[in-house]
Amino acid sequence: MAEAPASAPASPADAPARQGCTVRAPAKINLHLEVLGLRPDGFHELAMVMQTLDLADRLRIRPRSDGMLQLRCDRPGLPTGADNLILQAAQALRQRCGGPALGADIELEKRIPVGAGLAGGSSDAAAALVGLDAAWGLQRPAEELLELAAALGSDVPYCLVGGTRLCFGRGEVLEDAGVGVPPLGVLLIKHPDAQVSTPWAYRRFRDLREDYYLQAEADFERRREALRRGALLRALASGTAFPPLRNDLQQPVAAEVESVATGLTLLGRCQQALAVAMSGSGPSLYALFPTPEQAGRARGELAGELAAAGFESWCCRCTGSGATLEPPEDR
């Protein structure tokens, strides 16, 4: 789908030569999602721990000098028009930093399930910022890309940096969790027919739990500090003694989406699992294991039941980075 050129400031005369690139856009899971309160801007104040996985989309970018932005995707039915966050990211970047002649052909290799709570769309947008910054020779500072990312969506800044992070505010305030890359195995499952709209999940939470909202910044900070010092980060650092994982959207979504309730029961049967939870606003679910090999064995043991209930499944490892340019020799 093509996007018309935008009007914007002229591109820098001393910009390096433009060239094509390929960017990895990894999926994330929420290891903790706590709703603290409702903000004046209508978003929820959150305290989260996010983790990137080795399940990733890939963006192949070829710069053009006629101002056209074209997006194609290998998954039929995925919208590739102006609403796609990749094209919104491209427009935002060239309006801020480039010129109307900056264009690109972008091919999206879609591997992350859509509408799944795995930040696939946000990660694609982050990858577009990284890839177009390189392909257009802009070399914008990381802070500027983070600012553009925050305007595109709450999870997009995290998707730029990835790894194990505490995410506060509406999700865009990032802190390093200081635990290294957890050597865990992750068994991820999702029913292909289930999709959850994030605004709907937050509305459900609000309908059910509004009276639990904290109001004062001091109370928010107490919860952030509890997360920084809590059992989850200690478990991630040591690989043992995982507490039950908290996702405040899980119960409201499981009450309405049958596959979430079914999948949680199935994953709950894994003997070796350290913890089981829904990711983000769902409907993806995961179980954590001490090693990727144990995640693979659990997938094998559950294969019959997962297939009978119609679930897709992936065995993943944790990774330490977000949207990343691939080395030229791998392209």
Residue 213 as a binder of ligand C5P (CB under 6 A): the answer is no
Catalytic residue among 57, 124, 133, 155, which? 155
Contact between 243 and 232 under an 8 Å Cβ cutoff? The reply is: yes
Please confirm, yes or no, whether 28 is among the known catalytic residues. yes
Nearest CB to ligand C5P, comparing residues 3 and 155 = 155
Tokens 């935002």, located at residue: 92
Q: Does 199 bind ligand C5P (CB under 6 A)?
A: yes
Choose one: 40-48, 67-75, 86-94, 222-230; the region binding ligand C5P (CB under 6 A).
Answer: 40-48
Q: Can residue 86 be called a binding residue for ligand C5P (CB under 6 A)?
A: no
Closest to ligand C5P by CB, 198 vs 272, is 198
Residue 19: φ, ψ to 5°: -155, 160
CB closer to ligand C5P, 221 vs 305? 221
Return d(Cα 221, Cα 85) in angstroms, integer.
Answer: 32
Q: Which stretch binds ligand C5P (CB under 6 A): 43-51, 187-195, 207-215, 295-303?
A: 43-51
Is residue 117 involved in binding ligand C5P (CB under 6 A)? Answer: no
Task: Please choose, from the candidates 213, 164, 220, 206, the residue with its C-alpha nearest in 3D space to the C-alpha of residue 47.
Answer: 220
Q: Which is nearer to ligand C5P, 44 or 224 (CB)?
A: 44
Alpha helices for the chain (secondary structure H):
85-97, 120-135, 142-152, 156-161, 198-209, 217-228, 231-238, 250-254, 258-268, 292-308
Q: Which is nearer to ligand C5P, 199 or 310 (CB)?
A: 199
- Within 156-185, the residues that bind ligand C5P by CB under 6 A are 170-171
Residue 46 engages ligand C5P in binding (rule: CB under 6 A): yes
Which one of 41-49, 70-78, 136-144, 300-308 is the stretch in contact with ligand C5P (CB under 6 A)?
A: 41-49
Number of residues that bind ligand C5P (CB under 6 A): 11
Pairing relationship of beta strands 69-73 and 103-109 according to DSSP bridges = parallel
Pair of tokens at residue 130? 């990284």
* 50 beta partners: 30, 165
Which residues on neighbouring strands pair with residue 70, listed in sequence order? Answer: 2, 105
Q: Which residue, 101 or 213, is less far from ligand C5P as judged by CB? A: 213
Q: Which of 50, 194, 32, 23 is nearest to 118 (CA)?
A: 50
Q: What is the largest CA-CA distance in the chain?
A: 61
Q: Judged by CB under 6 A, does residue 43 bind ligand C5P?
A: yes
The answer to whether residue 223 forms part of the interface with ligand C5P (CB under 6 A) is no
H helices within 45-119, ranges in order?
85-97
Determine contact, residues 57/124, Cβ cutoff 8 Å: yes
44 binds ligand C5P (CB under 6 A): yes
Cβ pair 107, 60 in contact under 8 A: yes
Q: Nearest distance from residue 198's CB to ligand C5P, in Å?
A: 4
Question: Does 209 engage in binding with ligand C5P (CB under 6 A)?
Answer: no
Single out the segment in contact with ligand C5P by CB under 6 A; choices: 66-74, 196-204, 227-235, 267-275. 196-204
**Enzyme catalytic residues:** 28, 155
Summarize as ranges the residues that interact with ligand C5P (CB under 6 A): 43-44, 46, 153-155, 170-171, 198-199, 202
